[in-house]
Structure 1
């Protein structure tokens, strides 16, 4: 640590802190980024790029990491009135967010709200309670309609815009379910499980895996309390998909297989999605390409049957375009990037994806291009994905772009790759 501090480079100091033997094993970059109120991509650039110079940021990061003032090359703020100013706590990161969310849900929305803009969440909760008084129908249907609205907004506006209403719905469901009759309570908990799963997805897109995990666990608990077997299988599918964000191949496969073999009957589209997820797990664990393609073929058969049958519900969003881009991910993991590029391109050219998803799968296409030895096209596609990711505030997309930059390292001196690095600078 002292050697890093002697460089006057906070990025190197943070790296030395993350990798210090005191921790037993290196702290993940995404975890420390959450502590510092950064994204993983931002912290990666800070560690590898030029020394940050903005004093307010240096002071804040030093406070969060607890670096003694006498070891620093800049002056820390003096105590005010003889009392040292309260240091920003590490708990303001993802772990505190999950804890506040747990307390808030357990208190039926009475505790401090778990998002930064507390006034907005309280306003949403009051508006929901007021709107329900004028809704002519079952209370569960009212909250279900609000979730449909949230899901429609997410793909265009991004997770940060959708989150207050989703969390407001969850808090309102908790309040209404406490004194409801058993059948109404069961219906509310089923809607709540659906909402908690969706909120988990939003936190995934914000790259807050701890809070996402808490919400997926809450979704499973509510699905069990509601007696909804299909929802339980569906949450396992979502947990498998979250494991892909961290390249946890064993968990991707085992949870997908659990979702496939559990004591429930998933709707046809959800069945197709589960089988496709199994294919991804097989590709990641190095199974033969024939096994991967066999599962993808089965997923296609299930999806075709589902389209003939119509209907909505769990997995209603899973269509031919979704299957193709997910299949492209399978081919990337199976070491067939050129096939992946083709599939990504077919779907992206069709313009059927949401704005956020076009950025995410554009970034994944860029990664396949880089792995396939096409650095210039990869850099161009990735730069476009960065623009979309910033507009929709999708940290997950930005993290995929960081993977693209790593894959492009052998070509780092090419103008297109330098351009991508410039685009990524804060």
Structure 2
């Protein structure tokens, strides 16, 4: 029989072979700043009927990978007596089910959720001991504040520093939602959908395999459905479209169109972003420029009908901070994909010049400006702009911006002997951040 819990958890996340698990383990170890590697032989042992109890470092990495207590993955803590399995929970013993599982969970999660206030941590500890009694709106508010703080941290330091915290918070929400009373459970699931979508975004920006990002997107959509939050379900479709590779433009178009036109009502700013993503997908599928332009006009109309913008948060109204400058910058990407690089250059230069962008967004759009300049036949200016984007993206490891810069460097290969181009290519080659 082996260890069906571990095997099932791997397959849920898209890791279907032992080598997939090795790759995912090493990726998460890198995110945690640990130079850890494992072999296929170790994975085979974890999949066996006697997986043992992983050592401290492996426990930390496995928790980051799965966001679950290790006993829920089929591992047995030392000195735990084996008892008959509990009804309906194959492989789970009475000894494991409550005190050991929760103690393991607390050790893994509270250390990964430092953004909770002391009061919030005390409240969480009590709730994990008795979720039905202590899970309430005040605890949801603590978790909401911690998730917003994690998002702010990501904006400053990048995804690799934030992922352990995000996974910890996601694990807390998952654990509490199992036993919370109905009204609070619905709030926890709605918050969990936001946390899962944020975790998917971090994984994508950190260069995780696509199936890892897809797993957390699917978790977000599932929890949004359970919570009755149909706008959030649509928003996850938008984020899936944004995470879709440009070589799979038909799927990107299907996702963006469903987000914008499905059986739900997105807030105006979120609808504007979904429509601009649809415009980009149309450009990638070879639609006529007029068709792309009409869809962008719909995006502008949606934004024009939106209430005043609010400060960006991870848990507030969807796309509450989405602005005209951001819409224009994204529209420029659509024009670039439609074979109009000069128009993209003009729009990006104007809006990057006066718009207010978060560091990640500025790095990302500046990288696209470099690519548009390269496509417009301006290799020196493209390389200089690329170096500017690299200075914003390298240290925090903003993977989407770095991916665009690598694409630009590939475009500039015919000009590789020019000093500025050579400098950009060498700088990208020398990066210690894993590629996105």
- TM-score, normalising length: structure 1: 0.72
Deviation at 1:351, TM superposition (A): 5.1
Check conservation: 2:67, 2:168, Cα contact below 8 A: no
CA distance in 2 between partners of 1:307 and 1:401 (Å): 35
Deviation at 1:322, TM superposition (A): 1.3
1:259 paired residue number: 259
CA distance in 1 between partners of 2:240 and 2:429 (Å): 32
Deviation at 1:294, TM superposition (A): 0.7
Deviation at 1:138, TM superposition (A): 2.8
1:100 paired residue number: 65
Q: 2:386 aligned with 1:382, yes or no?
A: yes
Superposed CA offset, 1:136-164 (max 9, x none): 95322222222222222222221122222
Secondary structure, aligned partner of 2:320: coil
Secondary structure, aligned partner of 2:394: helix
Superposed CA offset, 1:358-380 (max 9, x none): 11111111011101100000011
CA distance in 2 between partners of 1:396 and 1:33 (Å): 24
Superposed CA offset, 1:108-131 (max 9, x none): 986989xxxx98854134774953
Deviation at 1:106, TM superposition (A): 10
Q: 2:119 aligned with 1:131, yes or no?
A: yes
Deviation at 1:32, TM superposition (A): 12
CA distance in 2 between partners of 1:176 and 1:65 (Å): 34
Q: How does 1:57-76 map to 2 (within 5 A)?
A: none
Check conservation: 2:342, 2:372, Cα contact below 8 A: yes
Aligned CA distance change for structure 1 residues 267 and 122 (closer, same or farther; 3 Å): same
Q: 2:324 aligned with 1:320, yes or no?
A: yes
Q: 2:343 aligned with 1:339, yes or no?
A: yes
1:413 paired residue number: 417
Deviation at 1:38, TM superposition (A): 8.2
Q: How does 1:216-295 map to 2 (within 5 A)?
A: 216-244=217-245, 246-295=246-295
CA distance in 2 between partners of 1:318 and 1:173 (Å): 27
Check conservation: 2:24, 2:65, Cα contact below 8 A: no
Aligned CA distance change for structure 1 residues 364 and 169 (closer, same or farther; 3 Å): same
List runs of 5+ in structure 2 lacking aligned partners: 1-19, 29-34, 42-57, 73-97, 125-135, 431-436
Secondary structure, aligned partner of 1:266: coil
2:212 paired residue number: 211
Q: How many residues align?
A: 343
Aligned CA distance change for structure 1 residues 409 and 110 (closer, same or farther; 3 Å): farther
Aligned CA distance change for structure 1 residues 142 and 361 (closer, same or farther; 3 Å): same
2:368 paired residue number: 364
Deviation at 1:307, TM superposition (A): 3.8
Deviation at 1:347, TM superposition (A): 2.3
Q: 2:318 aligned with 1:353, yes or no?
A: no
Check conservation: 2:109, 2:172, Cα contact below 8 A: no
Q: 2:206 aligned with 1:202, yes or no?
A: no
Check conservation: 1:128, 1:172, Cα contact below 8 A: no
Aligned CA distance change for structure 1 residues 97 and 369 (closer, same or farther; 3 Å): farther
1:48 paired residue number: none
Deviation at 1:173, TM superposition (A): 1.2
Superposed CA offset, 1:191-236 (max 9, x none): 0001100111111111112221111011011111111111111111
Q: How does 1:42-121 map to 2 (within 5 A)?
A: 100-101=65-66, 103-104=68-69, 107=72
CA distance in 2 between partners of 1:124 and 1:204 (Å): 20
Deviation at 1:36, TM superposition (A): 11
Superposed CA offset, 1:250-270 (max 9, x none): 111000111123221111111
Check conservation: 1:155, 1:357, Cα contact below 8 A: no
Secondary structure, aligned partner of 1:265: coil
Q: 2:181 aligned with 1:181, yes or no?
A: yes
Check conservation: 1:105, 1:170, Cα contact below 8 A: no
CA distance in 1 between partners of 2:265 and 2:207 (Å): 31
CA distance in 1 between partners of 2:376 and 2:71 (Å): 49
Aligned CA distance change for structure 1 residues 308 and 121 (closer, same or farther; 3 Å): closer
Check conservation: 2:283, 2:334, Cα contact below 8 A: yes
Deviation at 1:386, TM superposition (A): 1.6
CA distance in 2 between partners of 1:205 and 1:414 (Å): 30
- TM-score, normalising length: structure 2: 0.70
List runs of 5+ in structure 1 lacking aligned partners: 1-30, 40-56, 67-91
CA distance in 1 between partners of 2:70 and 2:321 (Å): 28
Q: 2:153 aligned with 1:153, yes or no?
A: yes
Aligned CA distance change for structure 1 residues 106 and 262 (closer, same or farther; 3 Å): farther
